[in-house]
Amino acid sequence: MKARTLRAWSWVHKWSSLVSTAFLLMLCVTGLPLVFTHEIEHVLMEEAWTPARPDGPKLTLDQVLETALARKPGEVPAFMSFDEDRPVVNVTSVQPGGKAGVYSFQPIDHTSGDPAPPVAGHPVMEFLLQLHTDMFLGLAGMLFLGAMGLLLIAALVSGVVLYAPFMRRLPFGTVRASKRARTRWLDYHNLLGAVTAAWVLVVGATGVVNTLATPIVGYWKNTALKELTQAYDSPVAPGQRSSLQAAVDKAKAALPDKDLQFVAFPGSDYSTDHHYAVFFHGKTPLTKHLTTPALIDARTGELAAIAPTPWYVKTLSLSQPLHFGDYGGLGLKIVWALLDIATIVILASGLYLWLAKRKAAR
Amino acid sequence: MKTGHHLTLWQVFSVPAAIAALSLFGLVVALLGDGLWNGIGALTLGASVIATVWALAARRR
C-alpha cells in the first residue's frame, strides 16, 4: 500500500474512533446487562402467581380493556399484548396528547380482570434500555446513536485495511506480551479486532437499522397504510369503536396459521387513526421475528386489509434479534456477552494507543 | 519478529476470514433453526472466542 493511502486510512480510523468511542463504550457497557434482560428480570421480578380461575372461562378482550382503563381514568389504549406462558393480557395506555415515552403498563389476569404481577419492565433494566436506545433524548438521540454506529462501521472497515500492514511480519494471533505496553496493547487490539470483526459489523449495522425504527414505521404508515385511511376525515373516537374481541377473532380467522402477538389501537404508533392493527407472527424460528398485521376497521369491525410488511419493515424486524442476541438460547447470549467485553477492550485499548502515541510524539 | 520476509495478504487474512465466515454462519443458523441449531450457532460464533483464548495461550511471546 502506498504511504499516502495508508495515511488516509489511518486518518479515517483515528477520527471515526475518536468521535464515537465514548458513546460506543456507553453502548457496550449498557448492552452487556441488556443481553440478559430476560434472565435478570426473571430473578428480580418473578413471583409465584396463579390466575384467579385457572380452568374458568376467560374474559373477553373488551372486558379486560374496560377493566384496565377504569384503573387509569382519562387514558386511552395504545397496545395490548399477550403473555405466552400465563393467561395474562398486558394493556398499555397513554394520556391523550401526553409526552412521548410516558405510558401506563398493566398486566391483567385474563380470567378475572385482577392485576397480575409484572414479569418484565424492571425500572433498572428500563433505564439501561432507554440510555442505550436514545440517551433519554427521543428521536434525536436515537438518530445520533445511529450516526455513532456508522462511525463504528467506518472504524471497523479502516481497521481491517490497516490490519494488513501491521501484521505483515506477524503470524495470526501473535501477542508480544514481553514487549513494552504500547506493543503489547497493539497486539491485543489487533487480535480482538480481527476475531470480532464479523460480529461487530452485524451488531453495529443492525443497531443502525434499529435507530431508524421511527422513520421506517412512519414511512410505512404514510405509504402502504395510507390508502386504507382515505375514506375517513377524523380519527375514530373511543365511543365509536366496534368490539375489540370481535376484531381479534376476525383477524385470527383471516390468518389461521399464525400466532397472535399484539394489538395496536387506533391512533397509536403501529396503527392508523381508524383501525385496530392486529399483529401476528409466524411459527418457525425465522418467521417468529416477522410480523403481519390484519387491519380491522374500528368503526365497522370489518377486515380492511392483511398488510404484509414491505422489505424495509422486514429488515427492521430481523435487525432486532440480530442486534439483541436474544434468539438462540443462553449459549448464544453468553458468546454475545464475551464478544461485547472484547469490544470494550478494543475501544479502551484503541484509546490508550492513541494517547500513548501522542505522548511519545511530544 | 520471527521472520524477515513478509506474509502475503492471503496469509494475513486467512484465519480472520475463516473466523468471520464461521461467525456469520453461527449468527444465521441460530436465527433459522431451533434446538440443536442454536447450539451450533453459539459454537461457531464462539470460534472467535476460542481463537482468542488459543492465541493468548499459544502465540504469546
Give the pLDDT score at A207: 98
pLDDT in tens, A61-108: 999 999 999 999 999 999 999 998 899 999 999 998 888 778 899 999
Q: Does A191 touch chain B (CB under 8 A)?
A: yes
Whole-angstrom Cα distance, residue A99 to residue A159? Answer: 42
* Mean pLDDT for chain A overall: 94
- Closest residue, chain B, to A321 (C-alpha): B31
Interface of B with A (CB under 8 A): 1-4, 6-7, 9, 11-16, 19-21, 23-24, 26-27, 30-34, 37-39, 41-43, 45-46, 48-49, 51-52, 54-56, 58-61
Picking from B23, B24, B30, the nearest residue to A327 by CB comes out as: B30
B23 or A308, greater pLDDT:
B23
Contact B49 A339 (CB under 8 A): yes
Amino acid letter, residue A172:
F
Selected residue of B8, B45, B61 to mutate for chain A interface (largest A Cβ count, 10 A): B45
How many H helices and E strands in chain A? Answer: 10, 7
Chain A 254-313, CB below 8 Å of chain B: which residues?
285-286, 289
By three-state DSSP, how is residue A49 classified?
coil
Picking from A176, A202, A335, the nearest residue to B46 by CB comes out as: A335
Whole-angstrom Cα distance, residue A164 to residue B9? Answer: 7
Are A196 and A343 spatial neighbours (Cβ–Cβ below 8 Å)? Answer: yes
**Locate cell 448492552: which residue?**
A31
| Number of inter-chain CB pairs under 8 A, A vs B | 125
Q: Does A1 touch chain B (CB under 8 A)?
A: no
By three-state DSSP, how is residue B6 classified?
coil
Check pLDDT > 50 for residue B1: no
Give this complex's ipTM. 0.93
Selected residue of B11, B52, B56 to mutate for chain A interface (largest A Cβ count, 10 A): B52
Closest CA to A63 of A86, A82, A91: A91
Which residues on neighbouring strands pair with residue A303, listed in sequence order?
A: A296
Q: Does A341 touch chain B (CB under 8 A)?
A: no
Query: Crossing angle, helix A37-45 and helix A3-35, to 10 degrees?
Result: 20
Distance (Å) from the alpha carbon of A83 to chain B's nearest alpha carbon: 21
- Closest residue, chain B, to A173 (C-alpha): B55
- Regions of chain A where pLDDT drops below 50: none
DSSP letter assigned to residue A175: B
Give the pLDDT score at B4: 55
pLDDT in tens, A275-324: 999 999 999 988 999 999 999 999 999 999 998 889 999 999 999 999 99
Q: Is A271 exposed, middle or buried (0-12, 13-18, 19+ CB in 10 A)?
A: buried
Give the pLDDT score at A216: 96
Give the pLDDT score at A101: 74
